[in-house]
Structure 1
Amino acid sequence: MSRHQEYPGDYNALHVREAISDVVQASNLTAKQRGDSAKPAVEKLSLWLYDQGLLPEDLGQLIDLVTIPSFLDQANLGNIVRNLYPATPVDDDIVIRVIGCLGHGKLKPSLAIQGALLKWLVMIHHIIDNQAVLSSAYSVLFNLLDTAGIRKQLCHLLALITRRRHVRPYRIQNLLSLSRQTGNDPAVTGLLRVFKDYYPEIIVGEATRAKASAFKHPDPQWRERLDEIQQDHAARSINRAERPLDAFRVARNGANGKGSGLLLEVHTSNATENSVTLEEIESVDGFVKNLERIELPNQLIAVLGDPLLQKLLALKPHAEAHRRASNWLSSYGQDLMSGESGIDPADGLDMLQTYVSSTKTFPPIFFIFFNEYLKIWDGHSGRDFVLTILSYMPLVNFSELFTGIFQPLEAKILDNTINSQLQLFEFYTNLLRRWTIFLASLEQKSAQASTIVADLVAHVNNLCLTIAQTSPTASTHSRILDFYDETAILASNPKLQHHTRIMIPPSPLVYILHFSLSPSILSRLCGILSKYKQGFQKAMATSRSEYTPTYINEFNGFLMDICNCIWRSRAFNNTDVNSHGCLVPRSLSQNLNSYVNDLNMGASLPMLFSLSYSPVLGLLAVSYFRELEEEELERGSDNLGIRHAGPVTRASLNSLINNRGLKLGWDDYRLGVLSYLEKKGMAGVGELMYNTMTNVMKRRSAMMTS
């Protein structure tokens, strides 16, 4: 963000800056010159800071106020430091100014203020814009450890920023010497233990066995308020760019804004001079360059929450890491079920989602965890997390999946609303998509995949029928076709065909989608059926086909009925081979036909679903014909003496030719409409006609070669 950006939304920048101005003005005058105390002005400013936080420019002004000598007393300066809540990431120059004020000297702040500023750096460490700035100042900070007044805060800050490259023999010696001089100061001992983690074979003796500081967060309530201010500011900043978690640095508690402390951080102690720790990696180049030399951290459970460690284990698999993660999850699950974990389940679900999304794995312990968790889940909290995690489930016995996961999941989610049905359906679509990707990666045929996938598709078929009737909209139909896009890939992809059998959609669903009022839905349906046909043709080419004649005839009925409607002007005909009459009872179709004839429309019922008359394709068909006429007029042709007045038929085209209208054959017109649909992004109709009707393919080939 710009250093001069105004407070967004309802932030009152004028009041904040007026309060800062009042305090700055008071700091330039002695108490005698002011005539009254500066305390009211400082308290007013503190209230504004607690309520709204500070943007970089105002934060810089206050840092100058507390680090440069002024006439404000220490109590008021301390009050200001305690309320320095940055609303944005903290700039490098702010950190440098704070570090520059440390130490002894007449122009330096008091040691109490220096300690407060160091404590502030510890508390805002996770939101410093450039973490390297503290590392660059490591020597300066370390050399200040002789100053007893700020030693505790310095040790805490150094413990946070210490990496293996900072641990040098002379620093180890200095710390050991300082520890002896201070009588095993707990803060120094704590820092020594951090050093020892990097070089356990060097730091020996009694020095690290004394009582040590735990280096916990100095003020959790202050941190909570800081998080609230940062989140509120982010929500109000419309143009604020999202700051993603750096995938090539180890994650620290709070780096992503949560700070739940659910998992241990990455920390490596078994490093040597020839190895590299994950903590030292700061970029993708460093990660790639040192991949073979990186040592695994102490606590491999950190893999659940650290993207960099997840990448390392993905490239260098380690069975022990996954075993430890499974054991931890088992323990966490038991605590969660008993209500003794003391942790918000949403944090755990968020962590599990990050893990499965990054590693693309679903450990067996996850089955046990969710088998129990779904029993106590309310069906609403963390629903997106649950559905995303479960969509990574591997191919396992469907009956086990249904009993242990799907059935309780549906019982918790479905509430007789279309939204709950669509959420569940989207989950099944994502699950099938990931299974498809997995099967595509296999070199050998999976023995159980065909049965498992077939059972899943059969289960989802019923849900599709329910959704199609509950919400008969183009949007819903499109989401249904997303699922059958995946089944069509399984049916037609040569590499996937030997893993699974072809599972066709339910007949009623095909006709519901066919009679949708959206041309894109009709086109997608036709394209999917065309892929199914390609799969069946390849399967039937061998004598070992597993498909019964009844099953094949059911699918062929879809093709014949759609071709009868669109191409042959024989909608609802059930006398052709394999035709089903779109499942419309013969008595009903006869009654409808009589009704249409009584209207004297000039077309029978079967014609009303053809290219020219169809309520779905009719507008596109007439638009195509109008464009042909316009092109003829633009060429300056004198032969176009009359334009077509209504839906195009074989008879109307012949009439046009005899009356100086556009000269176009019936077959050429229909092929032209198919090409026009393809140009409009609806190629599926043509694909089905070409793949199903041999004479149509021949005519198209003749047109393309002529």
Structure 2
Amino acid sequence: MDLEGERPAVLHDALESLERASRTPAKQRASKVSAVVDAICRHAFDKGLDEDSLRTVVQIASRKTELDQTSVTTLVKNLYPAQRVPADVVVTVVSGLGQGKGKPSPGSQNGLVKWLTIVHEIIDDPNVLPRLYGVLFGMLDMISIRTSLCHLLSLITRRKHVKPFRIQQLLELSRSLGNEPALQGLLRIYKDYYPDIILGSTSTSRNSFPPLPDPEWRTRLLVIQQRSVAANEDGTQQHNGFKVLRKGPKRGRISAIPDVHTYHTNETSVTLEGIDNVEDFVEKLDRIEPPGQLISFLTDPLLQKYVDLKSSPITSRRIELWLSTCLEEQYEAVKAGTPDPLYLSEILSGLLRHAQYTKSLSPVVQAFLKEYLLVWDGLQDIDAILGLLSCIQIQPFQDAYASYLSAAERAVTGQHPECYDQLLRFYTDLLRQWMNQASPQPRRPGPATATPDQRALHDLASHVSSLSTSLLLSLPFSSGGSNITSSILTFYELLSTSSAPYRIPIVLPPMSLIYTLALSPSATTLSRVCGMIGAYKTAFNKHPGPIRHFYPQEIVDAINCCLRDIYNLLWISRALVASKDAEGKDKASGVFCDPALREALNTYLGDIDREYAIQTAFGLSNNPMLAASSAAVWRQLEAVEIDARGYDRSSINWHKGPVSQRSLDVLRRNGGVDVDWELYRVHVLQWLEERGCAGLKEFMFASSDALKKKYGA
């Protein structure tokens, strides 16, 4: 039985049973309601409740019924929505709050308010709770739900909700109840909007702020909504970017970056705290009063938009003064050996978010990095530091290296080998940033590195080539070398596929680096290397001609030599063969293998088996990284051919492997299948492509126009 297919029907029946039980006294029921509740809760925990199911359970839990308190509490604790919460469900919950004959018990009401507090950010209509603000506020006199209600109101309060009569009611409640934490927390929110009206201090504690959702409940909700086919969002509490971000309790430490607060306002003031959506923001942009501390833009998306759209010399100066003072204090603290890591981490994370948003660094941050990198340990805030460095503007590489990169390299390379991988990923991000900023040269034949920007890109790539070669030769593949290899290939994949005539030059890695990577013990690495070489070949093919007017002849000779070497390895059984043209120039380098070494290897292989030879050892059938895949392709191809021809499987001569052109000829003459050697190899390329190793096929089709024309899609 397909249990998954039966679950909706089972849930539907359980909900119908629950509705009947909610109207039937316990003594008159034919079966126990606990089994029905357990079935619903199991489904809710496993898959979540769709809109109709959630609506049904909430309607039952939001009114007085014949169900016992334990059952209702269990249902409320398992209200996992599979999608976003419909607005009418929220209205149903709020309508069930308060005092009255048909209302649920105080415990059920408290559970429902807590549920609203948890799911308030995934409600389908974000304005439904603000519209019900007056109704919720009017229930603050209920002792049983006051704490949870204060927490909910603290999350949804905006300036438009802060009215004089509500301020008066809160103050009267505060005086009559004393220092009730949740009420003081709500009063603190009100005071943030009107500090001149609410005088005196409001004492706050950890219990003053809305508690964080139960981690297990929150994790389960995330899993459910990720699995939901109908849900397009992941169920996490996403901030919409057009509402002031409130971080809530600081959990015992002072935040380096304050929340957004606009002081000295009146009833006619337009503040960021009163903005709820993008239409509101656009309409009121010119009338918004700036908040007290503009530095909050580092963490608040709405203030960041406001600062960028309404920039002014005064705004820039205020931000620069705060940043320069703060960063200088942190730098001096690090020098003195008394840093505050958490404080500095928060500042750097905020600066990184802003730099990623604007794709640039302010002069204050650049000046700080120049000095801080000299005392940086290479570990603390490494992601933030390298992220900020990747945003520096394109400039002569030597200048950038002297100012920033040299110190960063010294700090990072003095740590664990894993940090080398981060350094290479940083250079990839920096390359992408500089490519985006590179300005074009005039559209006429000329050296491809004629402009300062193109020279900067060339020098950056050359530096990474030296660094990559050094790392590959220093670290064994088994001790972090695989990650470094992947990061090196990522850099060159970006470089090989991003060249643009007159703007981004074609910069080749050293041939020795390509060959070292190609001979790594990994089929994935070999595929990526081949794909990279194929991309370089395609870039040269698409470049305006004649190529010699843009690139020196040695660069063209180098890529042609590399193409022949890899082609010889994989396709035509001439591995490690060096050759020269009529002018004495290298036509193929033999992967820089010394002829004497090649001969010794050939002799060694021949002694093992007379069928073995060095020239075929790197082909698709014999390559140690590809042999298993090639064998699988042949078995599949041979079986298809036998079935297509109607051969008798028990009497036909099966190929023993490995497959070669000679072995296929022998097989055909001795009663086996007739398969073309080239066709078999193309099938291997296609099979590898289907399994994520498309680079070999890309290389072969880029290297051979005839092959691409014959088999290309």
Say whether the fold is shared (TM-score over 0.5): yes
Name 2:557's counterpart in structure 1. Answer: 553
Matches within 5 A, 1:484-495: 484-491=492-499
Aligned partner of 1:150 among 155, 175, 185? 175
**For residues 285 and 296 of structure 1, what CA distance do their matches in structure 2 show?**
19
What is the distance in 2 between the residues matched to 1:579 and 1:612?
Answer: 22
Question: Cα deviations across residues 165-212 of structure 1 (Å, max 9, x unaligned)?
Answer: xxxxxxxxxxxxxxxxxxxxxxx9x434x8xxxxxxxxxxxxxxxxx6
Q: Which amino acid aligns with 1:580?
A: S
CA contact (8 A) 1:525 1:684 kept: yes
User: Residues 318 and 619 from structure 1, CA distance in 2 versus in 1: closer, same or farther, beyond 3 angstroms?
Assistant: farther
Partners of 2:323 and 2:192 in 1: how far apart? Answer: 29
CA deviations 1:397-429 (Å, max 9, x no partner) are 322321222122122222353212112222222
Which stretch of the first structure deviates more once superposed, 140-149 or 556-565? 140-149
TM-superposed CA distance for 1:136, in Å, is: 4.7
Within a 5 Å distance, the mapping from 1:327-476 to structure 2 comes to 327-339=321-333, 344-415=343-414, 417-439=416-438, 447-469=451-473, 470-472=475-477, 474-476=482-484
2: CA distance, partners of 1:627 / 1:156: 70
- The question of whether the paired residues in 2 share the 8 Å contact of 1:554 and 1:578 is answered with no
| Partners of 2:308 and 2:219 in 1: CA distance | 37
Q: CA deviation at 1:593?
A: 1.3
> What displacement does 1:276 show?
4.7
Q: Find the counterpart in structure 2 of residue 160 from structure 1.
A: 189
- Tell me by how many angstroms 1:97 deviates: 7.8
TM superposition shift of 1:538: 4.0
Give the counterpart letter for 2:684 in structure 1.
Answer: V
Name the structure 2 match of 1:131: 156
Q: Is the deviation greater in 473-482 or in 129-138? A: 129-138
Structure 2 SS opposite 1:579: strand
Aligned equivalent of 1:594:
603
1:26 corresponding residue in structure 2: none
Aligned to 2:102: none
Q: Distance in 1 between matches of 2:174 and 2:682?
A: 89
Verify: 1:603 aligned to 2:638, yes or no: no
For the residue of structure 2 that corresponds to 1:484, the secondary structure is: helix
One-letter identity of the residue aligned with 2:486: S
Against the structure 1 CA distance between its residues 456 and 156, is the aligned structure 2 distance closer, same or farther, given a 3 Å change threshold? same
CA offsets 1:364-409 (integer angstroms, 9 cap, x no match): 2211011122233333222222222222222123223212221221
Whether 2:553 is the aligned partner of 1:578: answer no
Deviation by residue 1:469-503 (Cα, 9 ceiling, x = unmatched): 41425444222211111111233xxxx33223222
Cα distance change on mapping 1:353 and 1:442 into 2, 3 Å = farther
Q: 2:701 aligns with which of 690, 693, 698?
A: 690
Q: Say which of 553, 556, 567 aligns to 1:563.
A: 567
Identity level (%): 27
Structure 1 counterpart SS, 2:280: helix
Q: How far did 1:135 drift? A: 6.2
Would you say 1:263 and 2:257 are equivalent positions? yes
Residues 43-66 of structure 1, C-alpha deviations (whole Å, 9 max, x = no match): xxxxxxxxxxxx999xxxxxxxxx
Structure 1, unaligned stretches of length 5 or more? 6-54, 58-66, 69-84, 103-107, 165-187, 195-211
Amino acid at match of 2:281: F
1:478 equivalent in alignment to 2:459: no
1:247 Cα offset (Å): 2.3
Among 630, 638, 642, the residue aligned to 2:653:
642
SS at match of 1:648: coil
1:680 alignment partner in structure 2: 691
Q: Over residues 572-600 of structure 1, what are the superposed CA-to-partner deviations in whole Å (9 max), with x where a residue is unaligned?
A: 11124421111112221111112112223
Offset of residue 313 of structure 1: 4.1
- Residue of structure 1 in register with 2:220 after alignment: 239
Match of 1:527 in 2: 531
Given that 1:513 and 1:522 are in contact with CA atoms closer than 8 Å, whether structure 2 keeps it comes out as: yes
Aligned to 2:677: 666
2:304 and 2:397 map into 1 onto residues whose CA distance is 29
Q: What is the match of residue 126 of structure 2?
A: none
Amino acid at match of 1:611: L
Give the SS at the match of 2:505: coil
Q: 1:625 aligns with which of 606, 618, 634?
A: 634
Is residue 656 of structure 1 aligned with residue 667 of structure 2? yes
**CA offset at residue 609 of structure 1?**
0.7
**Deviations 1:331-371 (Å, cap 9, x if unpaired)?**
22222233399882222222212322333332122110111
Q: Is the 8 A contact 2:409 2:423 kept in 1?
A: yes
In structure 2, relative to structure 1, the CA distance for the partners of 1:651 and 1:312 (3 Å cut) is same
Q: Distance in 2 between matches of 1:676 and 1:101?
A: 68
Q: Which amino acid aligns with 2:505?
A: R
Whether the 8 Å contact between 1:266 and 1:302 is mirrored in structure 2 is yes
After superposition, the Cα gap between the structure-2 partners of 1:423 and 1:446, relative to the gap in structure 1 and judged at 3 Å, is: same
- Report if the CA contact (8 A) 2:606-2:612 is conserved: yes
C-alpha displacement at 1:569, in angstroms? 0.6
Cα separation, 2, equivalents of 1:418 and 1:333:
30
1:299-310 to structure 2, matched below 5 A, reads 299-310=293-304
Q: Aligned partners of 1:677, 1:531: CA distance in 2, in Å?
A: 18
Note the C-alpha offset of 1:95: 12
User: Alpha carbons of 1:258 and 1:397: their partners in 2 closer, same or farther (altered >3 Å)?
Assistant: farther
Alignment CA distance shift 1:545-1:568 (3 Å): same
- Please report how far the alpha carbon of residue 564 of structure 1 lies from its aligned counterpart in structure 2 after TM superposition: 0.7
SS of the aligned residue for 2:578 comes to coil
Residue of structure 2 in register with 1:251 after alignment:
245
Checking the alignment, whether the CA contact within 8 Å between 2:196 and 2:264 is kept in structure 1 is no
SS at match of 1:547: coil
In the alignment, what sits opposite 2:125?
none
Output one character per residue of 1:213-260: Cα deviation in whole Å (capped at 9) or x when no partner. 4x5x624xx33x8899859x6489643655455522113464787973
- Describe the shift of the 1:443–1:311 C-alpha distance in structure 2 as closer, same or farther (beyond 3 A): farther
How far is the alpha carbon of 1:438 from its aligned partner? 4.1
Q: Aligned partner of 1:591: which letter?
A: A
Distance in 2 (alpha carbons) for counterparts of 1:647 and 1:594:
20
Whether the 8 Å CA contact 1:488–1:528 is kept in 2: the answer is yes
Letter in 1 for 2:432: R
User: 1 CA distance for matches of 2:701 and 2:565?
Assistant: 15
1:386 alignment partner AA? I
Instruction: Give the aligned CA root-mean-square deviation in angstroms.
Output: 4.5
Conserved 8 A contact 1:90-1:128? no
Counterpart of 2:621 in structure 1 is 612
Q: How many residue pairs align between the two structures?
A: 560
* SS of equivalent residue, structure 2 residue 565: helix
Match of 2:549, SS state, is: coil
C-alpha distance 615-437 of structure 1, shift in aligned 2 (>3 A): same
Q: Is the 8 A contact 2:192 2:263 kept in 1?
A: no
Distance 1:538 1:636 in 2: 44
Check the 8 A contact 1:303/1:321 in 2, yes or no. Answer: no
Alignment-mate amino acid for residue 372 of structure 2: Y
Mark the runs of 5 or more structure 2 residues left unpaired by the alignment: 1-40, 43-76, 80-97, 100-113, 121-128, 223-235, 444-448, 581-585
